[in-house]
Amino acid sequence: MGRIQLFEIEDQSWCPRSLRDAITDCIQYGLNLLNFYGPIFPHLREALLSSESKKILDLGSGAGGPWPMLNRMFRRNGPLVHICLSDKYPNNAACMRLAAISKGTISLHLDSINTVEVPRELGGFRTLFSCYHHFSRAQARGILQNAVDSGQGIGIFEITSRHPLSFFLVLGMPIVALLLGPFIKPFRFSRIFWTYVIPAAPIVGLVDGIVSCLRTYSCKELQALVGSLSPNGYRWIVGTEKTVFSAPITYLLGVPDKFRVA
């Protein structure tokens, strides 16, 4: 089955910001609870070393995604990099909390960022975790072309897919929201409201999670996007990485050809 271009509720401008923040809080907590993205660390680390970048510009960060765990891994195993979180709808409270406890290694870009047209002054190796599927094929191509035109490396990582295990993983989203919602930091009364008074957070999280699986790009589809780019001096790697708790993580890495990714 090929990718299906559907829409997610939390992407819509009419979705209440407090509901969107409640959902991204739960996603961020779940990703770090079991370090779902830990297996891709060697690939990201090698790309950063090869590109000689000292900064990561994370796009579509939500509430911070997997960066609490990945940042600890970088601090233990290097290289030392600064991580700047950004989003079209930035979850400022959650990201500012991560920045405060990161010992200066994480910061937050407070203004909304158009991921397809990142301002040139925002340099750094670009990463997108669990959000590339939000974009249509034209937009997804534009994200890659914009990185190329800006001379920046880019890494895209997706834990969702059309693999049955991914759909099974999504079923855990309502459980995280219902059982652990009160303990997720920062504490929000709005999250309690959207979880227990009106249970929109677990329901929307489940629906959007299923939609995410249906529209995540496969390795073949990522290869086609790379092949459609204007001629460029980039080296591209598309692959999957095995995980313990879910289906393999799909990844795409691109660095200027003057560098090399092993």
Domain of 222, CATH number, reads 3.40.50.150
Q: What is the Cα–Cα distance from 24 to 94, expressed in whole angstroms?
A: 9
Whether residue 190 is contained in a domain is answered as yes
Are 63 and 99 spatial neighbours (Cβ–Cβ below 8 Å)? Answer: no
pLDDT in tens, 217-246: 999 999 999 999 987 789 999 999 998 877
Are 255 and 261 spatial neighbours (Cβ–Cβ below 8 Å)? Answer: yes
Are 26 and 184 spatial neighbours (Cβ–Cβ below 8 Å)? Answer: yes
| Token pair for 133 | 């599927």
Alpha helices in 151-216 (DSSP H): 164-170, 172-180, 189-192, 200-215
Total domains in the chain come to 1
Whether residue 59 is contained in a domain is answered as yes
Domain range for 63? 9-256
Whether residue 197 is contained in a domain is answered as yes
Residue 154 β-bridge partners: 126, 254
Rounded to an integer, the average pLDDT of 92-102 is 92
pTM passes above 0.75 = yes
Q: What is the Cα–Cα distance from 97 to 85, expressed in whole angstroms?
A: 12
Whether residue 4 is contained in a domain is answered as no
Whether residue 261 is contained in a domain is answered as no
Whether residue 262 is contained in a domain is answered as no
pLDDT in tens, 29-83: 988 988 999 999 999 999 999 998 999 999 999 999 999 999 999 999 988 899 9
**3-class secondary structure, 142:** helix
Q: What is the Cα–Cα distance from 38 to 48, expressed in whole angstroms?
A: 16
In whole angstroms, what separates CA 22 from the centre of its chain?
A: 16
- The whole-number pLDDT of residue 173 equals 84
Whether residue 3 is contained in a domain is answered as no
Is there a cis peptide before residue 66, judged by omega within 30 degrees of 0? no
pLDDT in tens, 103-147: 899 999 989 999 999 998 899 999 999 999 999 999 999 999 999
